[in-house]
A and B are shown apart, each in its own frame.
Chain A
Amino acid sequence: MNVRDVAHLARIRLTDEEATEYQSQLDQILQYIEQLNQIDIEGIEPTAHAEDIFDVIREDAAIAKHQLSQEAVLANAPETAHDQIKMPKVVE
């Protein structure tokens, strides 16, 4: 596990100190986790979910009372302009 590669996937820009510290801490944790490889899981189904409920769906339609106003959403935005969230240029 290379912590810098993983940090890029996780979109976190680590400092050199962080990369060094976390590399060794995570290596230690991963070594502990290796014990799971000794367990016989032949024929065992994974549990993604503690209960056995599936396919809980609803009508694919907007529910007015569940919606937030544009004002409410923009209120928490770091930077806004023209009723939108403002960002640095994405496309050159």
Chain B
Amino acid sequence: MNAAELTIAQLRDAYSQGVLTPADALQSLAKSIDEKDGDIGGYLSHDLDRALADAESVDMSKPLGGVPIAIKDLINAKGHPCAAASKILHGKYTSPYDATVVRKLREAGAIPFGRANMDEFAMGSSNENSGIKPCRNPHDTDRIPGGSSGGSAAVVAANISIAALGTDTGGSIRQPASLCGVVGVKPTYGRVSRYGLIAFASSLDQCGPLTKTVQDAALVLQTIAGPCERDSTCLDEPVPDYTAAIGQDIKGLKVGLPKEYFAEGLDPAVKEKVEEALRTLESLGAETVEISLPNTEHAVATYYIIATAEASANLARFDGVRYGHRSAEADDLLGVYELSRDEGFGAEVKRRILLGTYVLSSGYYDAYYLRAQKVRTLIRKDFTEAFQQVDVIASPVSPTPAFKIGEKSSDPLAMYLADIYTISANLAGICGISVPCGTVDEGGSDLPVGLQLLGKPLGESDLFRTAHAFEQA
């Protein structure tokens, strides 16, 4: 039995039957990583010795006892390197503390194992912006895995991880999950603590699971969600039993189909797969209803003002002073700041910091940032009104399947426009899941396509119920 190929549920079964120990599972994973990750680049590093040591003191009676989980490189795990896949931190920062999500995983018996590759500081939709090394889609290694949680999605898809944590600011869990053929969940904003995550956009970021099955995703979210005294934006709401939603039927469920998400720009082969999925939902008793989200066309512009503005503030801390890269050429304070940052940050990060700085600067704040915050209200209202008519919303995740590495990297704006189906959910703060719904043939490769389901704030149970029913059909 190759433990690397198991789901969390199967691994826990194997443990309870005495067929495997956590040390066995870790050895299997390490072997699979050695065999396959050279071609994929999903891991920036993995520390088997540390994980084996953790495994010795794990409480196997806990829900995730002995389960290794890959951690996206912007999440602090005590004693692990943490670099957000950036040269400004790579090799120069070891986490002195656990993020709340990592602490909660450990309390549930899970073992953080492996640092997952990503777009630098979560800025990207293809993992091509990793400041360390490329990551490739396991289904076709000439293609992107998606981003920014490309490594997290790739290692789960390639069976060199059991499950992974990612983060989603504009689609960065859902889109790579879709392109790699795994399950990915973006929780409601505030459902999961952001304490210990390297912040990109504080009003948009959420940490969530990437897994092989919907049931596994429910179990991981159950573990990491909940109130946190160290994150003032984290909701003081109890976590329902998400696993109870698994296995419930969806008879009578109203599924909204936003007409703006099925219009031009959507690859016909992707559209066909998503529409087949909708027919499956109908066969399970759901009712599809056309709805409109009229402010969809403004979402990308709104996002790229708000997210970059927040990022420019959040990345100001990378200044060469307290941690991370300090330029050897600097001989005065300004040099420490300016040279460390120019040397340490990649191009996309610099572009977004510059854009964000500009839209917040004196004379421009009202015209750009304040205006974008008002359009955000309109986008949020579109969803509030839609959820009065429907229980969940269904759509594609990405307008195309995984494109070839390098195909879009010289055109930042073209890359941004591909975020169109995922980005509004972050602006509105609602929850979403991507669940595999088949593959399309492109250039001789079978490329995964994901079905996106969006739920109202704190509506994760409906997402799990629907996604699981679909997965099992």
CB contacts (< 8 Å) of A18 on chain B: these are 342, 347, 350
Cβ of A12 and Cβ of B341 under 8 Å apart?
Answer: yes
Contacts of B96 in A (CB 8 A): 68, 72-73, 75-76
Say whether, besides A35-B301, A88-B335, A6 and B354 are in contact (CB < 8 Å).
yes
Q: How far is the CB of B206 from chain A (nearest CB, A)?
A: 10
Residue pair A36, B351 in contact (C-beta under 8 Å): no
Instruction: Select the residue from B230, B295, B330, B353 with max chain A CB neighbours within 10 A.
Output: B353
Do A13 and B189 form a contact, CB below 8 Å, given A29-B412, A35-B301, A47-B373? Answer: no
Return the chain A residue nearest B308 by Cβ: A29
Give A1 to B235 CA distance when docked, in angstroms. 38
Q: How large is the interface on A (under 10, 10 to 19, 20 to 34, 35 or more residues)?
A: 35 or more
Find A26's partner among B229, B324, B355 (CB 8 Å cutoff): B355
Which among A32, A75, A76 is the interface contact of B301 at CB below 8 angstroms?
A32
Interface flags for B376-394 (1: CB within 8 Å of A; 0: not) read 1110100000000000000
Q: Please report the C-alpha to C-alpha distance between residue A38 and residue B353 in the assembled complex, in whole angstroms.
A: 25
Assuming A29-B304, A47-B380, A51-B429, is B190 touching A12 (CB within 8 A)? no
Whether B190 contacts A90 by the Cβ 8 Å rule is no
Residues of B within 8 A of A57 (CB): 232
Residues from 270 to 305 in B contacting A, C-beta threshold 8 Å? 295, 297-298, 300-302, 304-305
B370 in contact (CB, < 8 A): yes
Q: Could you pull out 6 A-B pairs where Cβ atoms are within 8 angstroms?
A: A11-B319, A12-B342, A44-B375, A46-B370, A50-B204, A76-B324
Instruction: Point out residues on A near B: beta carbons under 8 Å.
Output: 1, 3, 6-7, 9-15, 18, 21-22, 25-26, 28-30, 32-33, 35-37, 39, 41, 44-51, 53, 56-58, 66, 68, 72-73, 75-79, 85, 87-90
Q: Which 7 A-B pairs have the closest CB atoms?
A: A50-B429, A46-B373, A13-B338, A78-B326, A76-B323, A72-B96, A11-B337
